Amino acid sequence: MTESPSASAADTGWVPVDRRWLGLDKRSFGPALFVLAVVIVLAGVIPAVNNAISWTNQTKAGDVIDMGGGITFAAPEGWTLTDGYRTTDHGANSVSPRNSTAVLANGGVRIEVKGGAWPGTAGALLSQLNDNLTRNEGSSLKVEGAPVSITTDAGDTGVTETYQSGGRAGRLAAFTFPAGGPLSGPIGLAFTIAGPGTTLAQYEPEIDTMLRSVSLKAGA
Amino acid sequence: MSPATEDASPESKQRQLEVLRHSGWGVPFRIFQPRNLCFWVLVLGYIGGVTVALQVIRPTAPAYSSALGYGVVLFAIYAVPWWLYLSHLNRYTTVPHKIIFTAFAWGFLAAPFWIAIRANDAILTIYAKAFGNAWASAWGPALTAPFTEETAKMLGLVLLLSLVPQVLRTPFDGFVTGAFIGLGFQISEDILYGFQGATAQFGLNQGALVGQTLVARGLAGLFSHTMFSAIYCAGLMWLLNRDGSDHRLRGLGLMALATIFHLTWDSGGVYFNHVLPGAGPAILNYVLTIVLSVVTIRLLLRTVRQDERGWVRDVLQPEVERGVLTPAEVDVLSGGRKQRRQLLHSVHGHHTRQIVKHVITAAEDLATQIAYACGRDTDAVIHARTEVARVRTGGGRG
């Protein structure tokens, strides 16, 4: 049997010398460069385009952020809402209090707000947030002083504390809402605010105002 | 019956050799090919994938390590039946395991992390910047993932086509390779979703939350990446005319269809964000997507298998003429469950049925050895032939 299917060189890596360039098979350049080009466009050019476009979604005075189930807070003015909805946004009524997120950014400071099921007290939620931070940030995390309670304009009580980590300042705040009305179970609301120390200090008053505006509108 | 009592006709031997050459079945190959630029791009993809995966996971991994652990274990178990099922589909002129592992790893690491996650994040943010968060949340996923992810997964097949061109020849090869790339992508994405979903209760009940993700994503996964990629990659084989059948348009159509299925599958936000209110349109969307994609995959599988089944028959025809195998046995090897059941029903007694099953398995070995030997009568082929005869007599030595 002399004839056999071409156990071609292509599949075993042998390349004729006249088909090599710098030792590489010239025939592999087409597909390899095609793949690289597509990857550069998808993972390089598109992210660069995104970085070049600036956010225009600035908050205005009176903007209220919807965390679902009637839980809201007033956004500080002039911040960029990169994630989450205002109560006036189309589609905001789909926000579930059991899994809600909002992110506000301004001058290197980032406010991350997260709602989720939480059966315990605000103090317990704060200490859970502390645990998570300690695990993630390790020994660089330093909590400053004891947690202090914060009373909202609506009369609810939350807990807040400040911390330093790796040259950045941060603040945690936790609120809880019992089950009932629009809430099918108890809900926790957590604020994680972080940024360069001086900038964060400068925004302190408006962050305080924001935290005090947290409320649950009954029958929402 | 003793092996090789008669000679095969020159025509059937000629046909066998043609099929082996055309199908690439049994062609020797290696993935490690330092002279092939595609090999280095493949390696770059794996390294890039691992790097980005660590960047994504590391910041919150310490607090959510149990979610990550549960996710890896649960979805690894979830992958097992998938793997077995796809291997079962891959039983004719088999795509070798080395290629399948390479494909799965591309889908698991390179496609999601090196490529898709960065493109998806950027495009979704561009949508939010341009049209607002509500619009981006409703339309973003459906108008991003089908394009970025199907492309990212397909690139793995493009690299493999340059590395093992003789082995990956047919739309069936594209179907199987694509399915494994898709499975890798799906498992990878599921683990990531489980990890991210576990933050829902601030770190409490991580195991239960990953369990919820497993149920939701596991069910959705039946009509997801594995299937999309199988369709898409089979389409790419036709588009590139790898099998010389000139069905380029069919290939393009299938790639478009896979993209559309992915788009409608990801369009939940459009419905549940009350852009189109009410459960009716959402249910209609999903039922239509499931029905149409299942019909497509059945038709596609039948089409891509047709050639493969014929090839198994052609490769084994000389063995029938030699008297090594019976036509009914070749029917089983080139057919499906039905032919197997028919043959087993035609004989009586447990012992005889057992013998028939052994003969079929030994015949599968023989087919594989003939393919590896490129149609020559090597020692391995002669041994496999002797084995068929041995088990036919009831398993006695000799």
Predicted TM-score (pTM) of this structure: 0.90
Provide the strand spans (E) within A98-220: 99-106, 109-117, 141-151, 157-165, 168-177, 187-196, 215-216
- Residue A220's pLDDT band, with cuts at 50, 70 and 90, is very low
| Residue B63: closest C-alpha in chain A | A132
Nearest to B374 among A5, A43, A82 (CB): A5
Cβ of A57 within 8 Å of Cβ of B165? The answer is: no
Structure token digits, residue B87? 């291997």
Residue in A closest to B28 by C-alpha = A7
Residue whose entry in the numeric block shows the structure tokens 């089409």 = B303
Distance from CA of B353 to the nearest CA of A (A): 36
Contacts of B146 in chain A (CB under 8 A): none
Tens-place pLDDT, residues B64-74 = 999 999 999 99
Q: Per-residue pLDDT tens for B132-182?
A: 988 888 889 999 999 999 999 999 999 999 999 988 988 999 999 999 999
State the greatest distance between any 2 C-alpha atoms of chain A, in Å, as a whole number: 93
Domain ranges of chain B: 1-28+316-398, 31-277
Chain position carrying tokens 């225009």: A56
Indicate the class that CATH gives domain A64-216: alpha beta
| Sequence-separated (6 or more) residues with CB below 8 Å from residue A14 | none
Domain ranges (residues) in chain A: 10-52, 64-216
Best to test chain B binding among A8, A12, A41, A42 (most B CBs inside 10 Å): A42
Locate A115 and state its tokens.
């709602």
Question: Which residue intervals of chain B are DSSP H helices?
Answer: 10-23, 37-57, 65-89, 97-105, 117-131, 133-139, 145-163, 171-197, 206-220, 225-239, 248-265, 268-272, 279-322, 327-334, 337-345, 350-372, 379-392
Q: Which residue of A has its CA nearest to B42?
A: A32
First to last CA, chain A: 83
Asked if B274 and A49 come within 8 Å (Cβ–Cβ), the reply is no
Question: Which two structure tokens, joined as six digits, stand for B270?
Answer: 């459009």
Q: Is A24 on the interface with B (CB under 8 A)?
A: yes
Mean pLDDT for A13-29 is: 88
Determine whether the interchain pair B166/A55 forms a contact, defined as Cβ–Cβ distance below 8 Å. Answer: no
B1-10, B189-198, B330-339: least confidently modelled range: B1-10
pLDDT, tens digit (0-9, with 9 covering 90-100), for B69-106: 999 999 999 999 999 989 888 877 778 889 999 999 99
From chain B, the residues in CB contact with A125 under 8 A are: 202
% of chain B beyond a pLDDT of 70: 96
Question: What is the rounded (10 degree) CA torsion for B295, B300, B306, B308?
Answer: -130
Mean residue pLDDT of chain B comes to: 90
Distance to chain A for B149, nearest Cα, Å: 10
Q: How far is B230 from chain A (nearest CA, A)?
A: 19
What would the pLDDT profile of B195-212 be if each residue is shown by its tens digit? 998 889 998 899 999 999
- Rounded to a whole number, what is the distance in Å from the CA of B384 to chain A's nearest CA? 19
Note the ipTM here.
Answer: 0.89
Task: For residues B234 and B186, give the distance between their C-alpha atoms in angstroms, rounded to a whole number.
Answer: 18
Asked whether the beta carbons of residue A136 and residue B199 sit closer than 8 angstroms, the reply is: no
Among all residues of chain B, which has the CA nearest to that of A47?
B122
Nearest CA in chain A to B377: A1
Query: How many helices and strands, by DSSP H and E, does chain A display?
Result: 4, 13
Among residues B93, B39, B76, the alpha carbon closest in space to that of B367 is found at B93
